[in-house]
């Protein structure tokens, strides 16, 4: 497991080698020049000031927010907010992501287009990611990107929450039947996945919006400081 300093430490009495993540390109945020020079598999345009990542899938059904509702989240940021939306996924998930890419402006599906290194470098540039209880939640946490995670059958207290993510970033319904599974691989005994149906798209949007609003305030403060310096 990882300690608070980001070191891999011994667990259950096993001796393991320690390691620490250094980040891409040294300190601070990494540049994306590698995309422009064709080093990746896909020529990625510059990441604008207002951008967001969305990874709407997970391995098991009990961890996947309904796609119709998630499409509303995508539409909000892409259309209403006018932000650049980067979609992450793999395999058969590409069909849904590419449909959203065609349906909404400002949306790009990254599925199958980047190496793992390039995908992590991109995620590190984003002010916030929306994910399920999934690998993408952990990858974003690994590179220090804030994550708004959506929980259904599983629960953060089961031990799989994103590393160093604030607990209030978890979006979840307070219903007595959850968690019903540690891994989300058990079918819903109710048959309706109320754990997700009780979460409105607006609840997910509101948590992610705080990061975009904070980024906008920071940008305005920098402009004011620059004017004063003159």
Cα–Cα separations (whole angstroms), residue 122 to 16, 30, 57, 188: 30, 9, 18, 35
- Residue 164 has a pLDDT of 94
52 strand-pairing partners: 85
Least Cα distance to 58 among 135, 114, 113, 115 occurs for 135
The DSSP 8-state label assigned to residue 88 in this structure reads -
Strands of the chain, DSSP E: 51-55, 84-87, 107-109, 129-132, 147-151, 170-172
Q: What is the percent of the chain with per-residue pLDDT over 70, rounded to a whole number?
A: 73
| Predicted local confidence at residue 215, as pLDDT | 66
Sign of the C-alpha dihedral computed for residues 58, 59, 64 and 66 taken in this order: positive
Bridge partners of residue 172, in order along the sequence: 151
pLDDT: is 149 or 220 the higher one? 149
Superfamily of domain 33-229: Glycogen Phosphorylase B; (3.40.50.2000)
Work out the average pLDDT over 15-22. Answer: 38
pTM: 0.77
Rounded average pLDDT over 49-67: 95
Q: What sign does the dihedral 130-158-6-116 (CA atoms) show?
A: negative
Residue 214: its pLDDT value, please? 76
Model confidence at 171: pLDDT above 60: yes
pLDDT tens for residues 104-163? 999 999 999 988 888 999 999 999 999 999 999 999 999 999 999 999 999 999 989 999
């Amino acid at each position: 497991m990882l300690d608070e300093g980001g070191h891999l430490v011994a667990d259950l009495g096993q001796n393991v080698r320690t390691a620490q993540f250094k980040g891409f390109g040294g300190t601070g945020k990494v540049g994306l020049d590698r995309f422009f020079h064709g080093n990746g598999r896909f020529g990625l345009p510059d990441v604008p000031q207002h951008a967001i990542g969305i990874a709407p899938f997970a391995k098991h059904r009990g961890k996947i927010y309904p796609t119709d509702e998630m499409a509303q989240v995508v539409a909000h940021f892409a259309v209403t907010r006018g932000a650049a939306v980067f979609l992450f996924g793999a395999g058969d998930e590409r069909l849904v992501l590419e449909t959203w890419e065609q349906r909404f402006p400002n949306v790009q599906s990254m599925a199958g287009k980047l190496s793992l290194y390039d995908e992590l470098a991109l995620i590190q540039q984003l002010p916030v990611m929306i994910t399920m209880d999934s690998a993408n939640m952990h990858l974003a946490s690994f590179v220090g990107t804030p994550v708004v995670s959506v929980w259904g059958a599983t629960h953060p207290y089961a031990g799989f929450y994103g590393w160093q993510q604030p607990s209030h970033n978890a979006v979840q319904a307070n219903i007595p039947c959850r968690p019903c599974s540690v891994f989300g691989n058990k079918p819903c005994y109710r048959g309706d996945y109320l754990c997700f149906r009780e979460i409105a798209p607006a609840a997910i949007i509101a948590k992610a919006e705080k990061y975009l609003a904070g980024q906008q305030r920071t940008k305005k403060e920098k402009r004011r400081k620059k004017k004063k310096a003159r």
